[in-house]
A and B are shown apart, each in its own frame.
Chain A
Amino acid sequence: MSEEKLTEGLDLHHENKWFRETKNKLDKVGCGFCLAKWTQVTLQLQTGHTHSCHHPKTHKIPVTEISRNPSALHNTLFKKRRRKEMLEGKRPKECDYCWNVEDNSNQFSDRVFKSNESWSAPHYEEIKNLDWRSDFNPRYVEVAFSHTCNFKCSYCGPAYSTTWQQEVEKFGGYPTSDNFNSIERHIQEDKWPQKQTEHNPYVEAFWKWWPDLYRDLHTFRITGGEPLLSKDTWKVLDYIIEEKNPNKNLQLAINSNLGIDDKLVDRFIDKINKICDEDRVKEFIIFTSVDTWGKQAEYIRTGLEFNRFWDNINKILTKCPRVNVTIMSTYGCLSVPNYKKLIEGVYDLKKTYGSRDRYWASAVFLDSSYLRYPWHQSVQILDDKWHNEVLEQAKLLYFMGVPIFDHNYIGYSDIEIQKVKRIHDWMTAEKDPKHIKTSMQNFYRYFNAHDRRRDTDFISTFPELEYFYEKCKKLCL
């Protein structure tokens, strides 16, 4: 064969150029500028709390503000002040999750991912020129109408779960140094949820705002509690089914733990198919949660029956040929030993149900976010021997990744891979030894009490972590 010039250029410095461009645009306004502060909102109507983006802590919505203006569910004075900081080139302290990622790795932070989303990016010009005092209708709205929930996940609490509420009313908070999930702490932070029977001014304000909000929405997501146990969720579904002029650009998402009664699952499937068959929304996504595989997942999420949960995912994907399912994983220290099984299980679902009839051909997505609070359940408290396991999990995702990020390919996307790699980077970042010691002590105190209260057995469920449990126990002596 003869000499030929090289024909295939190689990008030896691979980087996602769209994320880079977005970061550059944001940084032009300010190093702390993030569109999500305007475009995204989570509303916890059971407690009257809100935040824009999941990372900052929530803050209380003043009832006086919503009585004048129901959009103050999102446009609170507190949030407007953070927007002012962003527009003036400052980094709001409450957004330190992203500053941590940006300062400790060369990964893009969620500030970039969220500002690059289709519900954010088109509004860049409008937002950067907006007065900080102005109201802005969010495009991505998450709402929890109620905290009624049949689960009590180990990292959750009474603000989001009635079963958690019942447990702490009976036993009090956990005997950790921060008295995890104590009633007193919730009352102090004004997060003790209202009873469903009480009049809720936040829910009332929501329904006043809804007709105006619905028209502007890009994505609407109902969280909880368990949303399928709330009458307001069914009211939203019926509103969309009955609306004469539906917002067909809407991406509708409903969270569910998929551990509810079979009749409710079937009723849900029926509503989904009515909405999808009549093209009343652009996309229907079901968000569900699991943090690892099998018995270990059941331990983390009290109330979960893993096999029934997995059957329900299969049932929905079989009966609803146009929906996508996103599995949200709150990746904590108990996720590590068996997360590979979850990665493989989700990949099998992607292969089985991948179809071009769905908005995304990959029917299922695995969204892995690291657990930050409570610290005693975070991956940072584990010893170094687990670092490589998380890295191997990221490699496994990469192996099962799509060759090109596109609607048509089946496999793990760039973001699904990056998020697990990010967990590894965060896990290996420098830590405060005192803080780790306290968290390890809390780990033992928490799970020891957990086993007594809930009749569980940590050591037989997590034999891989028995040595760690004993190590934490010794620190308490």
Chain B
Amino acid sequence: MLIKHRQPWHITQNRVYGFTDVKTADTMQNDYTFYIDYELKVGPPTDKNLYSKSIFVRPGMHYGLIMKPDIFKIAWEFWTDLDGEKKYYDVSYEADEETFYDNYFVIVKHSVKQKTFTISITNKSIGVKKTLVQEYEGTLADYTHAPFNFGIANFDTHIPREHMGYCEYELHDVGLFTQLHSDISVLDMITANKGCGRTPKKMLSNPIFVLNMDETTLYKVWDLSGNCFYLDYNLDLSKKLKKAI
């Protein structure tokens, strides 16, 4: 599914209609496994291609996966609170000019107890995998009120363009679980669910969202986890982006 340039998507945290009691908001504060399979597109010539591209970001103090075309890096960024001070971390994978726009599969695991992020990045186009581990000090900053954004980080008219991070990319797969799962079990689940329709054949425990790119409407992508959280086309933001930029 194409996340189009300046037409970002998001997962809302509203639990309307009482379909579920599962809360999305604080799920990335504790132990979790997040995976995403994507392929960044070279931006249109009119755009400044050297600005950072937000694949999946919780805005504010950025928390998520960001592509940096000026230095060909793929970064998992986050902030912590340490003795009242904010501290910035950037776990980076170094690609190069030839591989930057390849198809990547990224698995991020967060362990609260060990205070670590483990990020495995696979370049599917050339079959290379690298695992990075980052320990941190203090506690993870509070992202409880931040939305889950795809294709943008922040937007407000006063925010400089380089911090907005909008971009265009092909989203192949994405999922979030509030539990640590092994890379192999995540891959097994994805393989088992290929072409499964609306009902998953295999589901790992504690899913928050597991998006099914085979099932889409004009505005939404189906959530296989059953929690009824959807990847929505962010209409409001797209309208604002069209007007403002």
Chain A residues at the B interface, C-beta cutoff of 8 Å: 1-8, 10-12, 14, 106, 347, 391, 394-395, 398-404, 409-411, 417-418, 421
Contacts and interface: CB of A to CB of B under 8 A. Distances in A.
A1 B149 CA distance: 16
Contact of B59 (A7, A391, A395, A411): A7
Contacts of A8: 59, 147, 155, 237
A410 B219 CA distance: 10
A104 B15 CA distance: 19
B74 interface: no
Interface residues of B, number: 42
B193 interface: no
B29 to A, nearest CB: 15
A398 B220 CA distance: 10
A404 B235 contact: yes
B219 A402 contact: yes
Contacts of B32: none
Nearest to B198: A396
30 contacts: A1-B52, A1-B162, A2-B163, A3-B79, A3-B86, A3-B88, A4-B60, A4-B154, A4-B159, A6-B146, A7-B156, A8-B59, A8-B155, A8-B237, A10-B12, A10-B145, A12-B25, A391-B19, A395-B19, A398-B17, A398-B228, A399-B220, A399-B230, A403-B219, A403-B232, A409-B219, A417-B17, A418-B17, A421-B17, A421-B19
The main secondary structure of chain A at its interface with chain B is loop
Contacts of A391: 19
A12 B18 contact: no
B61 A411 contact: no
B154 A411 contact: no
Given A8-B147, A398-B17, A1 B235 contact: no
Contacts of A411: 217-219
Contacts of B6: none
Nearest to A412: B217
Contacts of A400: 217, 220
A6 B219 contact: no
B163 A4 contact: yes
B165 interface: yes
A152 to B, nearest CB: 35
Given A1-B77, A3-B79, A399-B230, A421 B145 contact: no
B61 A3 contact: yes
B198 to A, nearest CB: 8
B165 to A, nearest CB: 7
B59 A4 contact: yes
B14 interface: yes
B184 interface: no
Most interface-central of B19, B145, B162, B237 (chain A CB within 10 A): B19
Nearest to B230: A399
A399 B219 CA distance: 9
A2 B212 CA distance: 33
Given A1-B66, A394-B19, 17 more contacts: A1-B77, A1-B165, A3-B60, A3-B79, A7-B59, A7-B154, A8-B147, A8-B155, A14-B16, A391-B19, A399-B220, A401-B219, A403-B233, A403-B235, A409-B219, A410-B218, A421-B19
